[in-house]
Amino acid sequence: MAEQQAVALVTGGGGGLGRAVCLALGQTGAHVVANDRDEARAEACAQALQAAGHAASAAAGNVSSAEAVDALKAQIIQRFGRLDILVNMAGNVANDLLVKVKDEDFIATLDAHLRSTLNCMRAFAPLMRERSYGRIVNMSSVAALGIVGGTSYSAAKGAIEALSRTAAMELARYGITVNCVAPGLINAGMFLTNPEHFRQAGIARTPMGRPGEPEEVAAAIRFLASREAGYITGQTLLVCGGLSVGV
């Protein structure tokens, strides 16, 4: 009997890094559901995958809202009846010093990164449990180790890693793995919005002497989302060109 086509959901899939992950999963033959809070970006990602010959669809929604995630889950159940791969990439840009961080900004960053990850794992783990199979990959960052000016962001990413380890322990018995990928400086998204001097300082601290490419992060996620990674769970894979060694 032919193996069923895998169904993958990528939250935050409309950005440059998210699109690279969607494409990497599409290349495995999975049907990729590209989620983004911006409907136009979600649609553009799905159309790009379809143009490349991959199965894809778009699903707009802000996954930091439990109600939006419930609606997304209902859509996926109605169309596919299951979910095999969940990649949580939704987030925002946040730079703040400890003594200057505002409560509302701190909470907004936790919502965008941590709450969205919790909402999606809580909603979709039962679907995976029904089939005794699942791959969950959560987006962390080398900033989880600590970074000046990253009070909210570092806290959110560190919490995601802790949440992922706990989920890995709880879900292992059901054939579900939960891991994190923690990029360093990547030629996409937040890194490109930083001033040139900040980018160059980060590159100077990176042993490989360059920022990573979105496709390099996507390759790590694709591996952890594969059947071949079935004995890896509760881990954080750093894709940072060695930056974490000196942190």
Indicate which residue of 133, 153, 174, 231 is catalytic: 153
List the beta bridge partners of residue 179: 137
* Separation CA 60–CA 87 (nearest Å): 15
- The 3 state secondary structure assigned to 19-47 is HHHHHHHHCCCCEEEEEECCHHHHHHHHH
* Separation CA 70–CA 62 (nearest Å): 11
Phi and psi at residue 196, in whole multiples of 5°? Answer: -55, -40
Measured CA to CA in angstroms, residue 58 lies from 12, 76, 149 at distances of 11, 11, 34
153 is catalytic: yes
How many other CB atoms sit within 10 Å of the CB of residue 74? 11
Using the Cα atoms of residue 55, residue 61, residue 67 and residue 71 in order, give the sign of their dihedral.
negative
Cite the active site residues: 153
